[in-house]
């Protein structure tokens, strides 16, 4: 049964239809990433912890960074706040960095007419999601044991993370398709990812944006990742509710980006074999 690319349910129908293949390729991407290393899958936890240590020392101790004006906020609270932001950023950043080359690096599958190529970008998202889930588990453990603990607001991540995954899927499909025709995207993406981390309030509180020029504020506040990072910190670390308008913005953006990205991929796919 053919599904129209512009059908809002088309991406999810295809992913469900090929769910076994999706699991297989996601598992293979994870295994290839850690093949030959002594610690293997443990690097999915070690890498974010090492980044956390570096950023906490530089921004927390050297620059004495804080997310709130509360006198009770400690360097540990600041470190956990950075960690929560890094989890979401690293997830999306990894997807953005890998997506432009995910199709061109698999020319054998492009030549197979019956192979569902949309699974390759989706598998990259799934592999990155595994790392993010492990890191999120570590963050929750750290907050429960060393921080102020967890309360019912922590369940709000179940409303914050899914739209980020939808955005990642849409971006993965879009960049994978565009990367077939414009190879420079793969080279430019690391710079864009580096810019994205500073646009997403990973290391600073949202109130700092009030110091930016009006135009810069509009650009920064249009970044859905910024709202996802801030909302996650509010819910998990500060035990505060998330603004419903923020959740609405995240979900609308996530759904639109996912559907549009899949539609572009489906539209450009027939020309892949002529270019790869």
Return the pLDDT at 1. 44
Q: pLDDT class for 3, splitting at 50, 70, 90?
A: low
Range of the domain at 20: 10-275
Residue 107 lies in a domain: yes
Listed residue (250, 220, 261, 222) closest to 158, CA to CA: 250
**What is d(CA 170, CA 176) in angstroms, rounded to the nearest whole number?**
10
For residue 17, pLDDT beyond 50: yes
Residue 3 lies in a domain: no
Residue 4 lies in a domain: no
Q: In the predicted model, what is the mean pLDDT of residues 4-19?
A: 82
Q: In the predicted model, what is the mean pLDDT of residues 139-155?
A: 88
pLDDT tens for residues 220-245? 999 999 999 999 999 999 899 999 99
Residue 212 lies in a domain: yes
Which DSSP state fits 137? Answer: H
Q: Rounded to two decimals, what is the model's pTM?
A: 0.91
What are the angstrom distances between the C-alpha of 150 and each of 88, 233, 235, 240, 269? 19, 12, 9, 11, 45
Which one of 3-7, 170-174, 209-213 scores highest in mean pLDDT? Answer: 170-174
Residue 258 lies in a domain: yes
Return the pLDDT at 31. 81
For residue 250, pLDDT beyond 80: yes
Return the pLDDT at 2. 52
Q: pLDDT class for 210, splitting at 50, 70, 90?
A: confident
Q: In the predicted model, what is the mean pLDDT of residues 107-135?
A: 89
For residue 121, pLDDT beyond 80: yes
Return the pLDDT at 36. 64
**What is d(CA 162, CA 228) in angstroms, rounded to the nearest whole number?**
10
Mean pLDDT, the chain, integer: 88
pLDDT tens for residues 80-103? 888 899 999 999 999 999 999 999
Q: Structure tokens of 129?
A: 């999601």
Q: Tell me the backbone φ, ψ of residue 58, rounded to 5 degrees.
A: -70, -55
**Count: domains in the chain:** 1
For residue 4, pLDDT beyond 70: no
Return the pLDDT at 223. 95
């Amino acid at each position: 049964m053919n599904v129209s690319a512009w059908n809002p349910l088309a991406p999810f129908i295809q992913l469900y239809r090929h769910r076994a293949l999706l699991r297989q390729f996601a598992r293979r991407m994870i295994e290839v990433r850690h093949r030959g290393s002594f610690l293997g899958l443990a690097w999915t936890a070690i890498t974010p912890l090492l980044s956390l240590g570096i950023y906490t020392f530089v921004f927390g101790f050297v620059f004495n960074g804080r997310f709130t004006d509360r006198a009770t906020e400690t360097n540990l609270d600041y470190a956990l706040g950075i960690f929560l932001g890094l989890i979401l950023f690293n997830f999306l950043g990894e997807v953005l960095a890998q997506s432009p080359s995910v199709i061109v690096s698999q020319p054998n599958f492009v030549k197979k007419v019956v192979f569902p190529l949309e699974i390759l970008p989706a598998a990259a998202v799934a592999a990155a999601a595994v790392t993010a889930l492990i890191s999120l588990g570590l963050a929750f453990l750290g907050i429960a044991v060393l921080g102020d603990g967890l309360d019912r607001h922590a369940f709000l991540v179940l409303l914050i993370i899914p739209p980020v995954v939808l955005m990642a899927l849409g971006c993965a499909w879009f960049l994978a398709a565009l990367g077939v025709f414009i190879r420079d995207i793969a080279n430019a993406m690391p710079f864009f990812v580096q810019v994205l981390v500073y646009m997403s309030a990973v290391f600073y509180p949202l109130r700092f944006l009030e110091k930016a020029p009006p135009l810069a504020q509009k650009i920064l506040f249009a970044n859905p990742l910024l709202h996802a990072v801030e909302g996650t910190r509010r819910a998990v670390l500060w035990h505060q509710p998330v603004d419903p308008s923020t959740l609405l913005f995240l979900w609308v953006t996530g759904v639109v980006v996912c559907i549009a990205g899949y539609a572009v991929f489906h539209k450009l796919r027939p020309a892949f074999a002529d270019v790869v």
